[in-house]
Amino acid sequence: MSSMDEIRATFFEECTELLEQLEGGLLRLEAGEQDADTVDAVFRAVHSIKGGAGAFHLTDLISFSHEFETALDGLRTGAVALEASVVATLLRASDRLGDLVAKAADGEVGDPSIPKDLADLAARAASGGSDEDDDFGLLDLPAMEEAFTVTRIDIDLDPGGPNAPPSGAAPTPSPMKPGGYWEICFEPLPDLFASGNEPLYLFRALHVMGRLTPRLIETDLPTLEELDPSQPRVRWIIDLVPSAPDLTETEIESVFEFAQDLCVFSIAHCEPEDPEPGAQGTALPANVAAGKPDPAEAQLSSVAPDAPSAPAALAPEPKPEAAAAGKQPDGAAPDGKAKGGLSTTIRVDLDRIDRLVNLVGELVICQAMLTQSVLKDGLGTNSDSASGLDDLQQLTRDIQDSVMAIRAQPVRSLFQRMTRIVREAAQMTGKDIRLETEGEATEIDKTVVERLSDPLTHMIRNSIDHGIEAPDRRVELGKDRVGVVRLSARQQSDRVVIEITDDGRGIDRERVLARAIERGLVPADRQLDPAEIDRLLFLPGFSTADGISSLSGRGVGMDVVQRAIRDLNGTITTQSEPGKGSTFSISLPLTLAILDGMIVRSAQQRMVIPLAAIIETQTLDSARIESISPTRSVVMLQDRFVPLLDLAEGMGFARPARAEGAPPDEDSALLFVQPDDFDAYALRVDAIEAQRQVVIKGLGESFGRVPCVSAATILGDGQVALIIDPGGLALAAESIRSPLPAEVQA
């Protein structure tokens, strides 16, 4: 990646943050926190996006953000009042800006049209007398695009005078004849030194262009007692014989660009037949000889007495330090993060952190292997080596936790994104919705935060589309006209629970059951309790929407949501009360790198079953197993029968032949597992070896998606073990997927 590509990537990364700041600020404004700092922060976010967009020729972004910025400037100047309708317009504009950024990031050009409400707002802002942006705001688009091309630069240091672009149209004199030279008159005005311009440096820049013959005119120099060293009291006439004959007046002028309003300056082009440099007088170009020096002198004599003395000039009216100090408390970063002067965060490439996470994973494995070999070598648990290993284990755990904490991110940005989803969904369905959020500071792995976006979006749309009633209906029901969707996050031991709650009609279980029967997902005569009915929502191919609504009926069901959550080693559950609303709870591990698992053996393979899915274990001889057909068995779990599956069979491993009638392995055990979207079933394994935290290792892309297997791990002895996906296993096994005959149900 070239450096420029990297900066481009940085720009879009920064845009994401700026868009979050923008939206966060607008939402604060909407909530009534209408202070100047928030308005400034919102303005700056758009301003920065425009600035960066300019560097990459993203004209659609530039024109849109410019209009947006103009509208926001109206808030700053007070030309536009902060009414609810204005904030709504700005929020919509921020959504559009987000779209344009996303398009630009994909290398596409978005729709550059300016929505009418935003254009009106910008017009109001501009007419309200923005004193800062006047000439810029009036630029038409083509001119603006030109202004934003990187190949050209506008350096304008002449606040009072005509704006002459350096690459301007000034007619260039014909190439200099051999022996020709330029005569430059330069007389600094009193403020030149205060601006940090140094005549010596300007002469150095001229010196690069050719041979200089400077003459100092010091006739105005006062006596030493009267001399104020901060005040320039001399002028120069410099003859420049260019080393390149095609040196133009514009090029020479460009050296003095920064000083143009702080000096009296003229350039004359002298032919070789002109008198020798140094001979002042008659033959000099008319403007130099007659005009220029005289007005300069006049100006100097008229300016000098009035001009503020240097100390005054160097200490302007408002005490800057006091002003600066005064600004700090209220001007502190709006999110309150950047306290003190220096930033306390550093940015680190995610790859580096992942490498560290991986290495720590290896360290954990290595430490476990070392522990095993120490014990194998006969060193007792009381030996120095063993106790040293204990310390190492503790340290390794601490390192692991610390490294995981680096990847942790608050869910705030994720929740903030959902405000837009709610807004859009409310608009499309014509419902009034308020989003309440809680626990935004709850931290979870960055990848989890990113991958939760789609499932959350889908669930929130579902809640609004299917859950919350139309406003009129709500009023009829005696509910508040405005429906509430709550999004909350909290940490519960080593998991994070995210809940989406709505105060709508709740799950219509009759309809859900009818639909499931209609689709053949459950037998018509099947009696299901409410929780079982709710779980039907997550079956593949289930959709309650009678007609495809524009919002949630996009062919994506809750099964996809569940799949996404399961990919994150998470689980999803529902709670619903008719007429009161529903809650969907997502429980997620704090990290994607470690899994609590049960290490089991089956057909001489060692595998890991996620502990979260195991509800009970039994030894084989204590279990009550009934055979209901040659290929199917069930086993009693508490007071009901559940299907039984042999793990090795389910995984398709060949069992070593065993003598007919031989007694079953005495270590054989049953694990009762309950995947999210399936009823519980029993897994027969040859032995349960240990319960342990394992480091999750991806299978590698070349394997693609392996049914029944979610990942792999390396065990303490260095062997690889597969981590089993109980849901996938159930899906693959016909004996579990198909419902049990009615007679076994009892």
What residues from 490 to 549 belong to the interface with other proteins (CB under 8 A)? none
Q: Does 98 bind other proteins (CB under 8 A)?
A: no
Q: Are 671 and 600 in contact (CB under 8 A)?
A: yes
Stretch that binds other proteins, among 210-218, 328-336, 406-414, 548-556 (CB under 8 A): 328-336
Length of the chain measured in residues: 746
Give the residue with the Cβ less far from other proteins, 6 or 106.
Answer: 6
Stretch that binds other proteins, among 132-140, 463-471, 484-492, 597-605 (CB under 8 A): 132-140
Q: Does 143 bind other proteins (CB under 8 A)?
A: no
Backbone CA torsion sign across 105, 109, 111, 117: positive
Give the residue with the Cβ less far from other proteins, 6 or 717.
Answer: 6
Give the residue with the Cβ less far from other proteins, 159 or 305.
Answer: 159
Give the residue with the Cβ less far from other proteins, 197 or 367.
Answer: 197
User: Total residues at the site for other proteins (CB under 8 A)?
Assistant: 74
Give the residue with the Cβ less far from other proteins, 141 or 155.
Answer: 155
Q: Are 8 and 69 in contact (CB under 8 A)?
A: no
Per CB under 8 A, the list member of 190, 334, 610, 675 interacting with other proteins is 334
Q: How far is the CB of 263 from other proteins (least distance, A)?
A: 13
Q: How far is the CB of 313 from other proteins (least distance, A)?
A: 9
Per CB under 8 A, the list member of 99, 108, 134, 616 interacting with other proteins is 134
List binders of other proteins among 644-673 (CB under 8 A). none
Q: Does 388 bind other proteins (CB under 8 A)?
A: no
Q: How far is the CB of 320 from other proteins (least distance, A)?
A: 4
CA nearest neighbour of 584 among 680, 510, 493, 506: 506
Rounded distance, CA 136 to CA 140, Å? 9
Per CB under 8 A, the list member of 315, 350, 514, 720 interacting with other proteins is 315
3-state secondary structure of 489: strand
Stretch that binds other proteins, among 156-164, 452-460, 475-483, 501-509 (CB under 8 A): 156-164
Q: State the Cα angle at 377 between 374 and 381, rounded to 5°.
A: 50
Per CB under 8 A, the list member of 64, 193, 236, 415 interacting with other proteins is 193
Q: Does 416 bind other proteins (CB under 8 A)?
A: no
Rounded distance, CA 699 to CA 694, Å? 14
Q: How far is the CB of 225 from other proteins (least distance, A)?
A: 22
Query: Residue 256 is encoded by which pair of tokens?
Result: 């003095």
Q: How far is CA 193 from CA 171, 199, 219, 310, in A?
A: 32, 9, 20, 9
Q: Does 145 bind other proteins (CB under 8 A)?
A: no
The torsion of the CA quartet 430, 434, 439, 440, rounded to 10 degrees, works out to: 60
Query: Residue 719 is encoded by which pair of tokens?
Result: 């062997």
Q: Does 120 bind other proteins (CB under 8 A)?
A: no
Token pair 């300007």 in the structure block, residue:
202
Q: Are 543 and 558 in contact (CB under 8 A)?
A: no
Stretch that binds other proteins, among 129-137, 170-178, 707-715, 716-724 (CB under 8 A): 129-137
Q: Does 249 bind other proteins (CB under 8 A)?
A: no
Rounded distance, CA 125 to CA 75, Å? 8
Question: Residue 447 CB: number of other CB atoms within 10 A?
Answer: 16
Per CB under 8 A, the list member of 320, 541, 578, 652 interacting with other proteins is 320
Site string for other proteins, 23-62 (x = CB under 8 A): -----------------xx-xx--xx-xxx-xx-------
Q: Does 205 bind other proteins (CB under 8 A)?
A: yes
List binders of other proteins among 255-274 (CB under 8 A). 255, 257-258, 261
Residue type, 455: P
User: Ramachandran region of residue 579, left (φ > 0), alpha (ψ -120 to 50) or beta?
Assistant: left
Residue type, 437: T
Q: Does 321 bind other proteins (CB under 8 A)?
A: yes
Token pair 């405005």 in the structure block, residue:
482
Stretch that binds other proteins, among 95-103, 172-180, 251-259, 388-396 (CB under 8 A): 251-259
Q: Does 228 bind other proteins (CB under 8 A)?
A: no
Q: How far is CA 191 from CA 255, 492, 592, in A?
A: 18, 65, 63
Q: Which DSSP string do the residues of 510-539 spell out, in sequence order? A: HHHHHHHHHTTSS-TT----HHHHHHHTTS
List binders of other proteins among 335-364 (CB under 8 A). 338, 341-343
Give the residue with the Cβ less far from other proteins, 324 or 720.
Answer: 324
Residues 6+ apart with CB under 8 A from 504: 463, 466, 467, 468, 469, 483, 581, 582
Rounded distance, CA 711 to CA 607, Å? 10
Q: How far is the CB of 496 from other proteins (least distance, A)?
A: 29
